[in-house]
Structures are given as C-alpha cells and as structure tokens.
Chains A and B, each alone.
Chain A
Amino acid sequence: MAGAAETALVREDTTGTEAVAGVAIALAVLLFAFDVGVLFDVVSIDGTIAGIPTVALLGGLLVLLGGAVVSFGVGSFLGYVETEPSPDAGLVAAAVFTLVWFGLGGAAAQAVAGGSLLWLPAAAATGGLAFAVAVLTREDLGSTLPAGAVAIVVGVVYLTGTIGPAWAWNLGFEQQASITAPFLVPVATAGCALLAGWAAAKAYGGFGARGRRMGAYLLVYTNAGAIISVLFVLIAFTAFRGIPGLLNGAAVGPGVGPSVSVLGVGVALPVSVPFVTNGVGLLNDFQGVFPAIVGTIWLVVGAVAFAVPLGVGAAVFLTEYAERGRLTQAVEVATNGLWSTPSIVFGLFGFTFLVPRFAGNKSLLSGMLTLGFMLLPLVLITSREALLSVPDEYRDASAALGVTKWQTIRSVVVPAALPGVVTGVILGVGRIAGETAPILLTMTGGTFVSRDRAADVIGGFAFTAQPPFVTNPELLQATTALPFQLYALITAGVGLGDNVSNPTEFQWATAFVLLLVVLSFYAIGIGTRYYFRRQLRHE
C-alpha cells in the first residue's frame, strides 16, 4: 500500500452495508410512488391505510428513511462501514441543503413565534448550520446528516399531527389563497423522499465518485419515471372516468351490433357500443358521438393529404435544388414562425379567406385546409431535416450511374428520408387532431348531430357533366369533431336533453374517445415509420 488514500482496485465485499443503503433507497422510491398516488387522489389523504391515517403513515416512513440515512452516514464516519468519502459534500449539495433548511427553520419559527420578524434569524441559523455541515464535515456526514434530518423533522411533524389532513395556511392574499394539506403534504413528502433517497443512493455507492454517480442515477431515473407516470396517470385518469360513459348501453353477444356488409352480405357485429356508433337523436336509446368521430378522422386525413405532398415537395425543392442562401434562410425563418403561430390565428385566417370561398358557410373542406396549413410548417421542417441527413454518398452513387437528379431524388433520397417525414407527420397530427379553435371558426355546425348527418365523404362524391366534373357536397357542409364537441359540452354544460342521464359521464367519454382516436393515429404513424425503416435497414 503506497498510501491510505489509494483506492482499492477491487471493492471488497460490501453486501451487508449495501443492503442497508439499498433498503433506504427502496423506502425512498416507495414513498415517492405512494406520494404520487396521494397527489393524484388515488390514495385519499384523510383516509387510513391498514388502520393507520395516511399522513401518519407517510410521517412514519419518512422518519424511518431519515433514520436509516443518518445512521448510515454516522456509521461510515465512525468507520463501521467501509466507504470512500470525499472531503466534503460539494457546493451544489451544500446550496440545496442551505435552502431547504433555511425554509424549514423559517417556517418553524413562524409557527412558534407567530407574525414577528423572528423567523429571519432562525432561518439564517438553520440554513447556515446546514451549509456548515455540508461543507466542513466529510462527505459521509455532510451529505447524509442534513438530508436525513429533513426527513426526520418532516416525519415528526406529520406524526405529531402538527400538520394533519385538515391543516391549511391562509396566505392572507387578497384572493383567498391558502396552502392546504392535500397539496403541501405530497409535495413536501416527495421533496424529502428525493433528498433522502439521493443521500441513500450516495451511501449505496460508498460516497466518493461512485457514490455521486449513484446519486445522479437516482435523480435521473426518478425524473424519467415521473414523466412516464404522468403520461400513464393522465391516460388512466381519462380512461377511468370515460369508460362508464363509453360503455353506456354497450352489449356483447351474437347479432347485437350494427350490421356491416362484408362481400355484399350483411353481417351483424357481435359487439354494440352505442356511444361510438350513434349520433344524437330524440328517439335514440343511447346518445353517441359517431358524427364527431367521423368528422375528426376526415379532418386529419384531409389535412395530412393536403400538407404532406406540399410540405415534402417544398422541402425537396429547398434542399436539393435551391441555392443555399437568402431564400432558403427566409423560408426557414418563415416556417419556424408559422409553426409557432397560435392556432386561433390560423382559424381566423380560415374564417376570413377559406369559408367565404367554399359555399359561404363553414365546411369540412375549410377545416381540412386550415388544419393542413397548420400542419404544413412542421412537415416542411422535419422533411427538410430528414432530407439533409440522407448521406451524400447515395446521391454520388446514383449520379455516377448516370441517373438524373430527379430520378435520384425520387428513388433514393426521398425513400431514405421517409421515416423522418413520418415522424414529423406524427408530431403534427398529434397537435392538429385535438385543435379546437380553428375548427370552431371554420368547420363546425351544430354540437349535437344525428347519425345521418355524419360526413360521408366517400359516398358524397358525385360525377357531373360540367366542370369540375366531380362534386362532393359532404365536403362543403358543416360538421362536428370531437375536440369541438367536448368544448361545447363543457361550456354549454346542458343541452343534451333527457336522453343523457349523466352529462359528466358523457363528457369524459367524449374526451376518452378523442384520446383514443389521437392515440390510434399515433399508432398508425409509428407503424408506418417502422415499416419504412424496415425497408431501409437490414433486420
């Protein structure tokens, strides 16, 4: 051994201590997840779990967690646990601890001494102490003591009932604002769990560089997990509330569903979901949103059919033909600007320029074109990026075979760029399918539309002897779409008549169906992109 500071090449068996720290991390993660549940009302804050009030349970877990973290730090400092700590906890950690303890000390003083200015010195004292511990003591103490102590203090506050489910702190603002327990408890608990979990992760790694990496991992994974869980909670929440309305009057059994013709033979489907297959009508047993679904689908199809060829064409011109210079820069700035333009402005544009030109009233076609214009800039931007990322080697190889530029673009460059283009369309459709403002101004007629007024675009085509030879009245009629219908349901609130027994259920079901429609477009997009990628790569 050249020196005591030398790091061992092979870490000695540390299973025992790692297990302690591992349990602490698990505790922190559990607390965090539990907490998300409380925040989203999945777990009731004034209820009990296994006979223990929720807040008390949270407090107990926090005290346990804090205790584990602190004892691990002390154990390491006293040499019972083998670790490789740095001389101090680091400035960032010190700053965070200082802030937290500053707030904690201030709040405590405020609660004890009331409205006096005493809270300031108290806050400064606790903050300073935390800073000193973090900076002046070795890392194993410096990063565990302040973190663990926060968890213990907050836990004790919960356990003693100082802050209970009914607790509220009136801020004394003009607007009657107050911080209540259902908000404060989950947020504070999550903060403590993160802090203590980070300290536990550091301990798990044995402090030092490895410990810091572990701490960073914990934060990164928690962050990623939180993002994913927000998505799932959102979908689950909508599904939870929407499914009862969606399944209102639904039946499964041979022959109960609407009949469809397969190869000329009418076959009745074995499932019936009136909410999806019905419109709104006086004689309906169950009201549904069929016209709105059809309207949304046609809107998206029309907008994509309009924007994708234009956008890809413009991108091809800009990337492959135009000299890179003023023009391309100007177009780039313009497209980025267009993409950031508020949708209501697009709506107004459609209202002013498109609506008067097509039959003079709001129409499906105006809606399609308005959304198409909204989609265009994104398709252009992403197609351009995708075309630029096609390697020049393909173009060279093709040119060296004597193939013309246009043929090269068509047969090699655009196919290689297609997955990127599809990515752009996916993102764009996600935006436009849920737009309400533009279609409000350009497309939508009545809110509650009967089934026979659903847009039948394919059946609407008719041939005439005079130019333009093809007409389609369906495209020129106002119709409805899911986001608009949802908006109208919520703002109008009533108007569904007696046939809908539960308007809230109806609203949530509409929202859920909208989510499903958008997600299926998304799925179609992902599938398409996968298909094109398969064509380009070997698998």
Chain B
Amino acid sequence: MSDITQTTEADSADTTETADAASTGVDGPSATGRSSTETTAGETDEHVREEWREYAFEGDAKFAVEDLDVYYGDDHALNGVSIEIPERSVTALIGPSGCGKSTFLRCLNRMNDRIKSARVDGSVRIDGEEIYQDGVNLVELRKRVGMVFQSPNPFPKSIRENIAYGPEKHGDIDTGLLARLLNRSDADERDRLVERCLRDAALWEEVSDRLDDNALGLSGGQQQRLCIARCLSVDPEVILMDEPASALDPIATAKIEDLIDDLAEEYTVVIVTHNMQQAARISDQTAVFLTGGELVEYGETDQVFENPHSERVEDYITGKFG
C-alpha cells in the first residue's frame, strides 16, 4: 500500500488536474503495483485512507455527516461514515447491493426511525443543525428533506389529490368541506400548486387533461415523475432518491435523468444508483460505498470514475465485482 504519491495529487478538487490524471490514470493505479490480497468475493483487501474521502468544494455544505454508524440488530450496516454534501448539486451514491446506500440515504431524513431494529449512532447536520438530537421536529425535517423511492408509490388517489396531499395535511392549503362552506377554500391555490409541481417534474404536458384520473393508471415512468412532483409539493430543500429509475425503461430513465439535472439548480439532490453510467452522467460528486457499509471514496464524479484512488473502487467501477 504505497500509492500515496499518486493519490495525493488527484485528491485536489481541481478539475483540470483530475482530468490530466485521468488521461494517464486508466492503467495508473493498478500499474503502481499495490500490495494487496484478494478476498473470496473478488474484492481486494486494502486499507481505506482518510484522504480518499476528502472532497473540497466551494459553497456551503447542506449535510455534514460525521462518524455515522447504523446497526440493524447485530448487523453493522454502516460503518463510521463521514461525508459533507454540497448544496444545489447532484451527489451520487454507488456501490454493490447490500453495502448500505439506502440505509445511508434513510439516515438523512430519519426514515430509519420507522425500522424497529435500526439503531443510529453519530451525527448528521443539515445546514449546521443536528438532526439526531432530542426535540427534532420530524414533520419539519421531512418537509425539508423529501424522498423518492425505488418503486413508484403514488397513493391510490387522483393525480391532483396525490400532489395536494402533503400541503393539505400540513394545513398549507385547505379545500375541506368546512373551508368551502366558509368560502375560504384554497382550490385555486391548490390548482396552481398542482400545475407548478407537475411542470417542475416534467409531467404537466402529459397529464394536464386528466388530473382527476387515478394515479395508478399512469405508466411506471409517469408514476415516478408524479412521485417526484409530490415530493416537490411540500417545497423541500433536499430530494433524496433511492434508485429512482431502476424499475423503468430506458426512455423513462432518460426523462428522469434530465429532470434531475434541472432540479439540481434549485435543490440538493442525493441519488442512489446501481447504474454507473447514470451516476457518471448526472452527478457532480460521487460517493462509493463498499461491502461492510464503508464509505471508501468520495470526490468529484470525473475523478472517481476515471482515476479512483482505491483499487477496490476501480475494480468495482470496471465491473470486476459487485
């Protein structure tokens, strides 16, 4: 493990330098002849270095995660993860299945609280505020940090009701019977909201004439965009996506990818994907988790894909395992 010379260079966040390294770097890391042993799974055994996970970026960090450990019963699913996620950008989480990507994502809006066996240690701060402490308002947290799931899960209600659901439950718009009787119904406001969210989710053109139809009648790709629109309806700052396109066909996937690109201008997007091309296409920075729930490498997407520091990450990216 004497590969410090190369990795320290590439550690810099400077793009040009990384690109340089990348051009020579294809055979670089392996050519340096690391001393490593292979595990049975085909993964090489190596020691993770702190600097592989350091990523300097301009602007503010939306999330600052420190020493995060998650246990499901005795199962240690996340192992000492520390990471800072910049705002208004797309962060991709990749890694073989079972390495804890979804678990990590669920820590960011405390959806792990819903799993009885899960125990979370460590610190997650959003805009500097700790979310794992007493007195955290989960409603407010989840309004700020929205989530889109792996399989599209619209409610069995109309398209309009799906979008208006969150704001109505939070009391932001009121179209109930009482409000209508008292003539202070927010129906217009709701319709504007529905239209805006659907437009933002690039779905308006397709469904504008059937807002009262049941959402389950939409195609898988449309349903997923509806879920994104529903997530936007409560005006979040962050959108977490757990393999949002894994159940979709290539065309629907391309639409979702374009959408993510647009969303990153306004929102902080954290996306889990098992599709490496997808991660490379859409993300600004990439975090690689490997077996054991370890964050092995984190950095600018181009650098991670073209010139990874870790030999295991390179093996994973080139498809030797995973």
Contacts and interface: CB of A to CB of B under 8 A. Distances in A.
A403 B156 contact: no
Contact of A404 (B139, B215, B230): B139
Contacts of B165: 398, 401, 403, 411
A393 B114 CA distance: 12
Nearest to A403: B169
A399 B142 contact: yes
B153 A393 contact: yes
B142 A537 contact: no
Interface string A395-412: 011111111100100011
A400 B156 contact: no
Interface in A319-368: none
Contacts of B215: 538
Q: How many A residues are at the interface, by size bracket? A: 20 to 34
Contacts of A536: 156, 214, 216
B111 A402 contact: no
A374 interface: no
Contact of B109 (A400, A411, A412): A400
A538 B215 CA distance: 8
B141 A402 contact: yes
B151 interface: yes
A411 B169 CA distance: 9
A412 B155 contact: yes
Nearest to B240: A400
Interface in A376-408: 391, 393-394, 396-404, 407
Contact of A397 (B155, B170, B233): B155
A391 B114 CA distance: 15
A538 B155 CA distance: 12
Nearest to B139: A402
Contact of A399 (B111, B156, B216): B111
Given A403-B165, A538-B214, A538-B217, A393 B151 contact: yes
Given A396-B114, A402-B138, A403-B166, A537 B156 contact: yes
Contact of A401 (B169, B213, B217): B169
A401 B230 contact: yes
Interface in B97-149: 109, 111, 114, 138-143, 146-147, 149
Given A397-B153, A397-B227, A411-B165, A402 B114 contact: no
Contacts of A412: 155
Given A402-B138, A402-B140, A402-B170, A397 B149 contact: yes
Interface residues of B, number: 32
Interface string B199-233: 00000000000000111110000000001001101
B143 A402 contact: yes
B234 interface: yes
Interface string A207-234: 0000000000000000000000000000
Contacts of A109: none
A416 interface: yes
Contact of B156 (A396, A401, A402, A416): A416
B153 to A, nearest CB: 4
Given A393-B149, A397-B155, A537-B156, A402 B213 contact: no
Contacts of B217: 538
Interface string B154-183: 111100000001100110000000000000
A391 B152 CA distance: 12
A412 B155 CA distance: 7
Of the listed residues A403, A415, A535, the one surrounded by the most CB atoms of chain B closer than 10 A to its CB is: A403
Interface string A520-539: 00000000000000011111
Contacts of A407: 169
A252 to B, nearest CB: 43
Contacts of A396: 111, 114, 149, 153
Contacts of B143: 401-402
A394 B155 contact: yes
Contacts of A416: 156
Contact of A537 (B169, B216, B230): B216
Contacts of A411: 165, 169
B281 to A, nearest CB: 26
Contacts of A402: 138-143, 166, 170, 234
Given A393-B151, A412-B155, A400 B142 contact: yes
Interface in B36-59: none
Contacts of B153: 391, 393-394, 396-397
Nearest to B150: A393
Contacts of B214: 535-539
Nearest to B143: A402
Contacts of B138: 402
B322 to A, nearest CB: 26
Contacts of A393: 149, 151, 153
Nearest to B233: A401
A363 to B, nearest CB: 35
A399 B146 contact: no
A537 to B, nearest CB: 6
B285 to A, nearest CB: 24
Nearest to A538: B217
B102 to A, nearest CB: 12
Given A537-B216, A538-B216, A401 B151 contact: no
Of the listed residues B143, B169, B233, the one surrounded by the most CB atoms of chain A closer than 10 A to its CB is: B169
Contact of B213 (A397, A404, A538): A538
Nearest to B213: A538
A289 B5 CA distance: 100
Contacts of A391: 153
A536 B165 CA distance: 15
29 contacts: A391-B153, A393-B151, A393-B153, A394-B156, A396-B111, A397-B153, A397-B230, A398-B155, A398-B165, A400-B111, A400-B142, A401-B146, A401-B230, A401-B231, A402-B166, A403-B169, A404-B139, A411-B165, A411-B169, A412-B155, A415-B156, A415-B157, A416-B156, A535-B156, A535-B157, A537-B216, A538-B213, A538-B215, A538-B216
Given A400-B146, A402-B139, A416-B156, 9 more contacts: A394-B153, A397-B230, A400-B231, A401-B143, A401-B169, A401-B234, A402-B170, A415-B157, A538-B216
Which 5 residue pairs are nearest across A and B when measured between Cβ atoms?
A: A538-B217, A402-B142, A393-B153, A538-B214, A400-B147
